[in-house]
Amino acid sequence: MAGEISEVGIAGAAPEHLSGRGAWFRRLPVVHQLRQSMGLQRGMLVAGLVLCAVFVVTAVFAPVLAPFTGSQLRTGDGTSFGAQQPPSAEHWLGTTVGGYDVLSRVIWGAQTALLVVIVAVAASIVVGVLLGLVSGYFGGALDRVLVVVADAIYAFPSLLLAILLAIVISGGQSSMWGGIMAAALSITVVFVPQYFRVTRAEVVRVKAEAFVDSARVLGTGHLRIMTRHVLRNSTRTLPLIVTLNASEAILTLAGLGFLGFGIEPTAAAEWGYDLQRSVADVTSGIWWTALFPGLAIVLAAMGMTLVGESLNDLADPRLRMRAASAEVAGDVAETSVPGTTKETEE
310 vs 291: CA distance, rounded Å: 28
- Look at residue 68 and tell me whether its pLDDT is greater than 80: yes
What is residue 43's three-state secondary structure? helix
Q: What is the pLDDT of residue 17?
A: 45
Residue 250 inside a domain? The answer is yes
pLDDT for 243-252, tens place per residue? 888 988 899 8
95 forms beta bridges with 101
169 Cβ contact list (under 8 Å, min separation 6): 181, 182, 185, 186
The number of folded domains in the chain is 1
Domain with 92, as residue range(s), is 27-338
Does residue 48 fall inside a structural domain? yes
Q: Determine what percent of the chain is predicted with pLDDT higher than 70.
A: 77
Give a yes or no: residue 160 inside a domain: yes
The answer to whether residue 346 is domain-embedded is no
The pLDDT of residue 281 is above 50: yes
At position 111, the amino acid (one-letter code) is Q
Q: Tell me what pLDDT residue 25 has.
A: 57
Which of 206-215, 228-237, 297-306 has the highest mean predicted lDDT (pLDDT)? Answer: 297-306
The secondary structure of 211-223 as a DSSP string is HHHHHHHTT--HH
In a domain, 8, yes or no: no
- 159: helix, coil or strand? helix
- Of 267, 230, 62, nearest to 139 by C-alpha is 230
Task: Flag whether pLDDT at 333 surpasses 80.
Answer: no
231 DSSP 8-state letter: G
Indicate the helix (H) or strand (E) that contains 127: helix 102-138
What pLDDT, on the 0 to 100 scale, is given for residue 115? Answer: 92
Residue 7 belongs to some domain of the structure: no
Angle at 192 between CA 257 and CA 272, to 5 degrees: 10
Task: Report pLDDT for 127.
Answer: 93
Q: Which CATH number does the domain housing residue 101 bear?
A: 1.10.3720.10
Counting Cα atoms < 13 Å in the Cβ hemisphere of 11 gives 6
What is the rounded CA–CA span in Å between residue 255 and residue 300?
14
- Name the residue among 227, 233, 187 with its Cα closest to residue 208: 233
The answer to whether residue 100 is domain-embedded is: yes
Stretch 267-274: mean pLDDT: 87
Instruction: Measure the CA–CA gap between 267 and 71, rounded to whole angstroms.
Output: 7
Mean per-residue pLDDT of the chain: 79
Q: Assess if residue 19 is contained within a domain.
A: no
H helix runs in 22-101, sequence order = 23-26, 29-36, 40-60, 62-65
Residue 128: what pLDDT? 92
